[in-house]
Structure 1
Amino acid sequence: MATGASSAKTNSFFGRLAESITRFSGSTAAFIGSAGVVLLWAATGPLFKYSETWQLVINTGTTIVTFLMVFLIQRAQNKDSLVLHLKLNELIAATQGASNRMINAQDLSEEEIRVLHQFFCLLAEKAKQDTDLGQTHSVEEAEDNHEEKLAALRDGK
Protein backbone atom coordinates (compact mmCIF):
# COMPACT_ATOMS: atom_id res chain seq x y z
CA MET A 1 0.00 0.00 0.00
CA ALA A 2 1.38 3.40 -0.97
CA THR A 3 1.96 5.92 1.78
CA GLY A 4 3.10 9.50 2.18
CA ALA A 5 4.72 11.16 -0.79
CA SER A 6 4.57 8.01 -2.90
CA SER A 7 0.75 7.98 -2.80
CA ALA A 8 0.66 11.51 -4.20
CA LYS A 9 2.62 10.26 -7.21
CA THR A 10 0.09 7.50 -7.89
CA ASN A 11 -2.91 9.88 -7.84
CA SER A 12 -4.20 11.21 -11.12
CA PHE A 13 -3.52 14.78 -12.17
CA PHE A 14 -7.17 15.62 -11.48
CA GLY A 15 -6.92 14.02 -8.03
CA ARG A 16 -3.89 16.11 -7.10
CA LEU A 17 -5.47 19.27 -8.54
CA ALA A 18 -8.77 18.67 -6.72
CA GLU A 19 -6.97 18.06 -3.41
CA SER A 20 -4.92 21.24 -3.83
CA ILE A 21 -7.98 23.33 -4.65
CA THR A 22 -9.91 21.79 -1.76
CA ARG A 23 -7.10 22.59 0.69
CA PHE A 24 -6.77 26.14 -0.64
CA SER A 25 -10.51 26.82 -0.71
CA GLY A 26 -10.72 26.17 3.02
CA SER A 27 -7.90 28.57 3.82
CA THR A 28 -7.96 32.07 5.23
CA ALA A 29 -6.30 33.37 2.04
CA ALA A 30 -9.17 32.01 -0.07
CA PHE A 31 -11.74 33.65 2.18
CA ILE A 32 -9.92 36.99 2.15
CA GLY A 33 -9.51 36.77 -1.63
CA SER A 34 -13.21 36.02 -2.12
CA ALA A 35 -14.23 38.82 0.21
CA GLY A 36 -11.84 41.11 -1.71
CA VAL A 37 -13.45 40.20 -5.04
CA VAL A 38 -16.92 40.94 -3.64
CA LEU A 39 -15.75 44.28 -2.19
CA LEU A 40 -14.05 45.21 -5.47
CA TRP A 41 -17.22 44.29 -7.36
CA ALA A 42 -19.35 46.37 -4.95
CA ALA A 43 -16.95 49.32 -5.22
CA THR A 44 -17.23 49.31 -9.03
CA GLY A 45 -21.03 49.54 -8.83
CA PRO A 46 -21.18 53.33 -9.19
CA LEU A 47 -18.64 53.21 -12.04
CA PHE A 48 -20.91 50.84 -14.00
CA LYS A 49 -24.08 52.57 -12.76
CA TYR A 50 -25.23 49.34 -11.12
CA SER A 51 -26.10 47.99 -14.55
CA GLU A 52 -27.50 44.56 -15.31
CA THR A 53 -24.12 43.58 -16.77
CA TRP A 54 -22.42 44.62 -13.52
CA GLN A 55 -24.84 42.40 -11.59
CA LEU A 56 -24.48 39.58 -14.10
CA VAL A 57 -20.71 39.49 -13.56
CA ILE A 58 -21.00 38.60 -9.85
CA ASN A 59 -23.99 36.30 -10.37
CA THR A 60 -22.23 34.33 -13.10
CA GLY A 61 -18.95 34.16 -11.19
CA THR A 62 -20.52 32.97 -7.97
CA THR A 63 -22.72 30.44 -9.79
CA ILE A 64 -19.76 28.88 -11.59
CA VAL A 65 -17.63 28.75 -8.43
CA THR A 66 -20.52 27.27 -6.41
CA PHE A 67 -21.24 24.68 -9.10
CA LEU A 68 -17.62 23.52 -9.19
CA MET A 69 -17.18 23.62 -5.41
CA VAL A 70 -20.16 21.31 -4.89
CA PHE A 71 -18.28 18.56 -6.72
CA LEU A 72 -15.00 19.24 -4.91
CA ILE A 73 -16.76 19.22 -1.54
CA GLN A 74 -18.57 15.98 -2.38
CA ARG A 75 -15.29 14.39 -3.52
CA ALA A 76 -13.58 15.38 -0.28
CA GLN A 77 -16.54 14.18 1.76
CA ASN A 78 -16.58 10.83 -0.05
CA LYS A 79 -12.87 10.36 0.65
CA ASP A 80 -13.24 11.35 4.30
CA SER A 81 -16.21 9.01 4.70
CA LEU A 82 -14.31 6.10 3.15
CA VAL A 83 -11.28 6.73 5.37
CA LEU A 84 -13.52 6.88 8.44
CA HIS A 85 -15.15 3.57 7.45
CA LEU A 86 -11.72 1.99 6.98
CA LYS A 87 -10.59 3.17 10.42
CA LEU A 88 -13.77 1.85 12.03
CA ASN A 89 -13.37 -1.44 10.16
CA GLU A 90 -9.83 -1.72 11.53
CA LEU A 91 -11.09 -1.14 15.07
CA ILE A 92 -13.86 -3.72 14.66
CA ALA A 93 -11.46 -6.27 13.19
CA ALA A 94 -8.92 -5.70 15.98
CA THR A 95 -11.40 -5.71 18.88
CA GLN A 96 -12.06 -9.09 20.43
CA GLY A 97 -15.78 -9.67 20.84
CA ALA A 98 -16.78 -7.09 18.24
CA SER A 99 -19.08 -8.40 15.54
CA ASN A 100 -17.14 -8.70 12.28
CA ARG A 101 -20.42 -8.48 10.39
CA MET A 102 -20.23 -4.73 11.07
CA ILE A 103 -17.18 -4.45 8.82
CA ASN A 104 -18.31 -2.61 5.67
CA ALA A 105 -21.75 -1.97 7.17
CA GLN A 106 -21.98 1.04 4.84
CA ASP A 107 -22.52 -1.42 1.98
CA LEU A 108 -25.60 -3.02 3.56
CA SER A 109 -29.07 -2.47 2.14
CA GLU A 110 -31.48 -0.18 3.97
CA GLU A 111 -33.41 -3.24 5.18
CA GLU A 112 -30.24 -4.86 6.57
CA ILE A 113 -29.34 -1.59 8.31
CA ARG A 114 -32.84 -1.40 9.79
CA VAL A 115 -32.53 -4.96 11.15
CA LEU A 116 -29.12 -4.19 12.66
CA HIS A 117 -30.56 -1.01 14.17
CA GLN A 118 -33.25 -3.11 15.85
CA PHE A 119 -30.57 -5.39 17.29
CA PHE A 120 -28.65 -2.43 18.65
CA CYS A 121 -31.87 -1.11 20.17
CA LEU A 122 -32.14 -4.48 21.94
CA LEU A 123 -28.56 -4.10 23.14
CA ALA A 124 -29.36 -0.63 24.44
CA GLU A 125 -32.35 -2.03 26.35
CA LYS A 126 -30.15 -4.77 27.83
CA ALA A 127 -27.59 -2.17 28.86
CA LYS A 128 -30.28 -0.11 30.60
CA GLN A 129 -31.31 -3.18 32.62
CA ASP A 130 -27.75 -3.96 33.75
CA THR A 131 -26.50 -2.66 37.05
CA ASP A 132 -22.91 -3.35 35.94
CA LEU A 133 -21.92 -0.46 33.69
CA GLY A 134 -18.97 -2.46 32.37
CA GLN A 135 -21.17 -5.34 31.12
CA THR A 136 -21.15 -5.68 27.33
CA HIS A 137 -23.51 -7.43 24.98
CA SER A 138 -23.10 -8.56 21.39
CA VAL A 139 -25.29 -8.51 18.31
CA GLU A 140 -25.27 -12.29 18.47
CA GLU A 141 -26.64 -12.19 22.03
CA ALA A 142 -29.39 -9.85 20.87
CA GLU A 143 -30.14 -12.25 18.01
CA ASP A 144 -30.34 -15.18 20.43
CA ASN A 145 -32.71 -13.22 22.65
CA HIS A 146 -34.79 -12.29 19.62
CA GLU A 147 -34.97 -15.93 18.51
CA GLU A 148 -35.98 -16.97 22.02
CA LYS A 149 -38.77 -14.37 21.99
CA LEU A 150 -39.97 -15.58 18.59
CA ALA A 151 -39.90 -19.19 19.78
CA ALA A 152 -41.86 -18.25 22.89
CA LEU A 153 -44.44 -16.47 20.75
CA ARG A 154 -44.73 -19.51 18.45
CA ASP A 155 -45.07 -21.87 21.41
CA GLY A 156 -47.65 -19.61 23.07
CA LYS A 157 -49.96 -19.70 20.01
Structure 2
Amino acid sequence: MSTSRLFTHMAKAASNFAGRPLCFGIAVLSLIVWAASGPLFGFNDTWQLVINTATTIVTFLMVFLIQNTQNRDTEAMQIKLDELIHVTRAANNELLDLEELDEKELDSMRERYEALADRARRMRTKKAAAGKS
Protein backbone atom coordinates (compact mmCIF):
# COMPACT_ATOMS: atom_id res chain seq x y z
CA MET A 1 0.00 0.00 0.00
CA SER A 2 1.41 3.40 -0.97
CA THR A 3 2.08 6.05 1.67
CA SER A 4 -0.62 8.29 0.22
CA ARG A 5 -3.15 5.48 0.26
CA LEU A 6 -2.18 4.50 3.78
CA PHE A 7 -2.56 8.10 4.98
CA THR A 8 -5.96 8.42 3.28
CA HIS A 9 -7.13 5.18 4.89
CA MET A 10 -5.88 6.22 8.34
CA ALA A 11 -7.29 9.74 7.95
CA LYS A 12 -10.73 8.36 7.03
CA ALA A 13 -10.71 5.94 9.97
CA ALA A 14 -9.55 8.61 12.43
CA SER A 15 -12.03 11.13 11.07
CA ASN A 16 -14.89 8.64 11.35
CA PHE A 17 -13.89 7.80 14.92
CA ALA A 18 -13.42 11.45 15.93
CA GLY A 19 -16.95 12.24 14.78
CA ARG A 20 -18.61 9.59 16.92
CA PRO A 21 -20.20 10.07 20.34
CA LEU A 22 -17.78 7.49 21.80
CA CYS A 23 -14.81 9.74 20.98
CA PHE A 24 -16.54 12.72 22.56
CA GLY A 25 -17.27 10.60 25.63
CA ILE A 26 -13.62 9.56 25.89
CA ALA A 27 -12.56 13.22 25.67
CA VAL A 28 -15.03 14.25 28.39
CA LEU A 29 -13.98 11.31 30.58
CA SER A 30 -10.32 12.26 30.12
CA LEU A 31 -11.07 15.81 31.24
CA ILE A 32 -12.99 14.55 34.28
CA VAL A 33 -10.10 12.24 35.27
CA TRP A 34 -7.62 15.06 34.77
CA ALA A 35 -9.69 17.53 36.82
CA ALA A 36 -10.30 14.96 39.56
CA SER A 37 -6.56 14.27 39.77
CA GLY A 38 -5.87 17.96 40.41
CA PRO A 39 -6.03 17.73 44.23
CA LEU A 40 -3.80 14.63 44.15
CA PHE A 41 -1.08 16.59 42.34
CA GLY A 42 -1.78 19.84 44.16
CA PHE A 43 -2.90 21.59 40.97
CA ASN A 44 0.79 22.10 40.18
CA ASP A 45 2.38 23.24 36.91
CA THR A 46 3.11 19.70 35.74
CA TRP A 47 -0.53 18.73 36.24
CA GLN A 48 -1.60 21.72 34.11
CA LEU A 49 1.09 21.01 31.52
CA VAL A 50 -0.30 17.50 30.96
CA ILE A 51 -3.68 18.75 29.73
CA ASN A 52 -2.16 21.65 27.79
CA THR A 53 0.25 19.35 25.98
CA ALA A 54 -2.37 16.69 25.27
CA THR A 55 -4.90 19.16 23.87
CA THR A 56 -2.24 20.88 21.76
CA ILE A 57 -1.11 17.59 20.23
CA VAL A 58 -4.67 16.43 19.53
CA THR A 59 -5.60 19.80 18.01
CA PHE A 60 -2.46 19.84 15.86
CA LEU A 61 -3.18 16.38 14.47
CA MET A 62 -6.91 17.02 13.99
CA VAL A 63 -6.17 20.05 11.80
CA PHE A 64 -4.49 17.78 9.26
CA LEU A 65 -7.26 15.18 9.43
CA ILE A 66 -9.97 17.78 8.97
CA GLN A 67 -8.12 19.42 6.08
CA ASN A 68 -7.60 16.07 4.38
CA THR A 69 -11.28 15.17 4.77
CA GLN A 70 -12.41 18.57 3.46
CA ASN A 71 -10.05 18.36 0.49
CA ARG A 72 -11.38 14.94 -0.51
CA ASP A 73 -15.00 15.97 -0.02
CA THR A 74 -14.55 19.19 -1.99
CA GLU A 75 -12.76 17.43 -4.82
CA ALA A 76 -15.45 14.74 -5.02
CA MET A 77 -18.18 17.40 -5.04
CA GLN A 78 -16.42 19.35 -7.79
CA ILE A 79 -16.16 16.22 -9.92
CA LYS A 80 -19.86 15.49 -9.40
CA LEU A 81 -20.80 19.07 -10.29
CA ASP A 82 -18.58 18.91 -13.38
CA GLU A 83 -20.37 15.74 -14.44
CA LEU A 84 -23.79 17.38 -13.99
CA ILE A 85 -22.68 20.36 -16.06
CA HIS A 86 -21.20 18.03 -18.69
CA VAL A 87 -24.38 15.96 -19.14
CA THR A 88 -26.78 18.90 -19.18
CA ARG A 89 -27.38 19.77 -22.80
CA ALA A 90 -27.97 23.50 -22.31
CA ALA A 91 -25.19 23.89 -19.73
CA ASN A 92 -22.26 26.20 -20.24
CA ASN A 93 -19.29 23.82 -20.40
CA GLU A 94 -17.07 26.80 -19.72
CA LEU A 95 -18.05 26.29 -16.07
CA LEU A 96 -16.30 22.92 -15.91
CA ASP A 97 -13.27 23.04 -13.63
CA LEU A 98 -14.17 26.58 -12.56
CA GLU A 99 -12.27 26.21 -9.28
CA GLU A 100 -9.00 26.33 -11.24
CA LEU A 101 -9.56 29.92 -12.43
CA ASP A 102 -7.77 32.82 -10.81
CA GLU A 103 -9.57 35.43 -8.71
CA LYS A 104 -10.06 37.92 -11.56
CA GLU A 105 -11.59 35.29 -13.86
CA LEU A 106 -13.87 34.05 -11.07
CA ASP A 107 -15.03 37.62 -10.38
CA SER A 108 -15.83 38.09 -14.06
CA MET A 109 -17.85 34.85 -14.15
CA ARG A 110 -19.67 35.78 -10.92
CA GLU A 111 -20.62 39.20 -12.34
CA ARG A 112 -21.95 37.50 -15.47
CA TYR A 113 -24.18 35.16 -13.46
CA GLU A 114 -25.26 37.88 -11.05
CA ALA A 115 -26.44 39.88 -14.07
CA LEU A 116 -28.39 36.84 -15.33
CA ALA A 117 -30.00 36.39 -11.91
CA ASP A 118 -30.88 40.09 -11.77
CA ARG A 119 -32.56 39.91 -15.20
CA ALA A 120 -34.51 36.82 -14.14
CA ARG A 121 -35.73 38.57 -10.97
CA ARG A 122 -36.80 41.64 -12.91
CA MET A 123 -38.70 39.44 -15.40
CA ARG A 124 -40.45 37.69 -12.50
CA THR A 125 -41.41 41.03 -10.98
CA LYS A 126 -42.76 42.24 -14.33
CA LYS A 127 -44.80 39.06 -14.80
CA ALA A 128 -46.18 39.30 -11.26
CA ALA A 129 -47.12 42.96 -11.81
CA ALA A 130 -48.76 42.12 -15.16
CA GLY A 131 -50.70 39.29 -13.52
CA LYS A 132 -52.21 41.68 -10.94
CA SER A 133 -53.51 44.06 -13.61
**What is the TM-score with the length of structure 1 in the denominator?**
0.75
Matching residue of 1:74: 67
Which stretches of structure 1, 4 residues or longer, exceed 2 Å deviation after superposition? Answer: none
Matching residue of 1:112: 105
| Whole-Å separation in 1 of the counterparts to 2:87 and 2:53 | 51
Q: Secondary structure at the match of 2:90?
A: coil
| Whole-Å separation in 1 of the counterparts to 2:83 and 2:8 | 25
**Residues 49-104 of structure 1: CA deviation (Å, up to 9, x unaligned):** 00000000000000000000001000000111101111111111111111001111
Matching residue of 2:21: 28
Cα deviation, residue 43, structure 1: 0.5
The one of the two structures with greater contact order (alpha-carbon pairs below 8 A, sep at least 6) is 2
| Whole-Å separation in 2 of the counterparts to 1:32 and 1:103 | 43
| Whole-Å separation in 2 of the counterparts to 1:113 and 1:62 | 39
Q: Which has the higher helix share?
A: 2
Matching residue of 1:37: 30
**Residues 31-60 of structure 1: CA deviation (Å, up to 9, x unaligned):** 000100000000000000000000000000
Return 5+ residue gaps in structure 1 as ranges: 1-8, 134-157
| Whole-Å separation in 1 of the counterparts to 2:6 and 2:71 | 18
Q: Secondary structure at the match of 1:130?
A: helix
Q: Secondary structure at the match of 1:98?
A: coil
Report the aligned-residue RMSD: 1.7
Q: Secondary structure at the match of 1:12?
A: helix
Return 5+ residue gaps in structure 2 as ranges: 129-133
Matching residue of 1:50: 43
Matching residue of 1:127: 120
Cα deviation, residue 129, structure 1: 2.4
**What is the TM-score with the length of structure 2 in the denominator?**
0.89
The alignment-based identity, stated in percent, is 40
Aligned residues between the structures:
125
Output the amino acid matched with 2:122. Answer: Q
Do residues 13 (structure 1) and 6 (structure 2) align? Answer: yes
| Whole-Å separation in 1 of the counterparts to 2:55 and 2:11 | 19
